[in-house]
Amino acid sequence: SMLTGESLPVEKKNGDEVVGATINKLGTFRFKATRVGRETALAQIIGIVEEAQGSKAPIQRFADVVSGYFVPVVVGLAILTFLAWYFVLDAGN
């Protein structure tokens, strides 16, 4: 099933709950929609995923701050090293 992850079909009896994307292999049946729209399991999963994508974990914020300083420092050191080798140590000759 799309939501439960069952790899093989599961038989349902009268009164059992079925979810959206259930495959009916035996004929017809009646069902009653108990949840629709934003109340469905799929809508709740989508909401949780959107919320998770829209927020950052505290460690991610910390990593962003550290990289904001680390990257410019490393690039600056690389430029200084190049200039020292090229001009001071005369590596250009």
Residues 13, 45 share a domain: yes
How many structural domains comprise the chain?
A: 2
Instruction: Return the higher-pLDDT residue of 85 and 25.
Output: 85
Range of the domain at 50: 1-55
At 63 the pLDDT is 94
Residues 9, 50 share a domain: yes
Report whether pLDDT(21) > 80. Answer: no
Per-residue pLDDT tens digits for 34-80: 888 888 888 888 899 998 888 888 899 999 999 999 999 999 999 99
Beta-carbon neighbour count of residue 18 at 10 Å? 13
Give the Cα separation of 46 and 39 in Å (integer).
Answer: 11
Residue with tokens 């399991």: 41
Residues 44, 10 share a domain: yes
pTM listed for this prediction? 0.46
| The amino acid at 64 | D
